Amino acid sequence: MARATLPAPAVFVDRDGTLIEEVGYLDRPDRVQLYPWSVAAIRALNRAGVRVVMVTNQSGVARGFFTETVVEEVHARISEELAAGGAHLDAYYYCPHHPDGRIREYARACDCRKPGRALVDRAVDEFNIDLTRSFAVGDRWFDVGLARAVGARGILVRTGYGAREERSAPDGLAADAVVNNFVEAASWILERLRA
């Protein structure tokens, strides 16, 4: 049966160092600090009909630094701040795992830790997404690697760890764009989608 809507492009956006300040392991919602441009950037993507899906590695859960409840409280905090500015994320997906974790239920290799693609596949199942017109944005090379893994375009931002990452690109992996921050990434994306 045909779907009711045409497949939409999506932006898979990293959290720490991309939407919010990188503060190490974020273990309290009151430490959430959105970058000043994040609300406007997401609102512009929302208005263009682009799905915006957070995809974040939160190995602090496996390491025992904080619980999934804390991750969800952090996301509720981000959601409130976005809503106050008329913006929203379509989904908040995270990987709580790590092979070296000390919390047994999370201590494993998995397919959802970036650059693994399982969270993107979940978004494709849940929303009607055209990966060939989609983008992954983040401050680490594994964010660009995620884009490569799913056939989307990858953008490295220089916030968070990004400026450092830019100086040490792994062999065989190049970003489609390197930009100063997420609002520049959103502009780059919207230009490509209009073309």
Q: What is the closest distance, in whole angstroms, from the C-beta atom of residue 189 to Mg ion in the complex?
A: 18
Per-position x/- string for 70-99, each x denoting binding to Zn ion as judged by CB under 5 A, each - no binding: -------------------------x-x--
Give the torsion sign (CA, 177, 9, 89, 140).
negative
Q: What is the closest distance, in whole angstroms, from the C-beta atom of residue 114 to Zn ion in the complex?
A: 9
Rule CB under 5 A: is residue 113 a binding residue for Zn ion?
Answer: yes
| Residue 143 among the catalytic residues | no
Residues that bind Mg ion (CB under 5 A): 14, 16-17, 139
Nearer CB in complex with Zn ion: 55/112: 112
When CB distances are held under 5 to 8 angstroms depending on the partner's kind, the choice from Zn ion, Mg ion, none that residue 90 binds is none
Nearer CB in complex with Zn ion: 20/112: 112
Give per-residue burial for 58-96: e unless 16+ CB within 10 Å, then b: bbbbbbebbeeebbebbbebbeebbeeeebebbbbbbbb
Candidate segments 21-29, 103-111, 165-173, 184-192, binder of Zn ion by CB under 5 A: 103-111
When CB distances are held under 5 to 8 angstroms depending on the partner's kind, the choice from Zn ion, Mg ion, none that residue 165 binds is none
| Coil, helix or strand at residue 29 | helix
- How long, in residues, is the chain? 195
Q: What is the closest distance, in whole angstroms, from the C-beta atom of residue 110 to Zn ion in the complex?
A: 3
Instruction: Say how far apart CA 185 and CA 137 lie, in whole Å.
Output: 7
| Residue 14 among the catalytic residues | yes
Catalytic residue among 14, 90, 139, 143: 14
Residue 149, burial from CB neighbour count under 10 angstroms (0-12, 13-18, 19+): middle
Candidate list 110, 163, 173, 177; residue touching Zn ion; CB under 5 A: 110
Q: What is the closest distance, in whole angstroms, from the C-beta atom of residue 169 to Mg ion in the complex?
A: 16
Instruction: Say how far apart CA 69 and CA 54 lie, in whole Å.
Output: 17
Q: Give residue 79's region: left, alpha or beta (phi > 0; psi -120 to 50).
A: alpha
- List, in sequence order, every residue forming a beta bridge with 93; answer none if it has no partner: 55
| Active centre residues (catalytic) | 14, 16
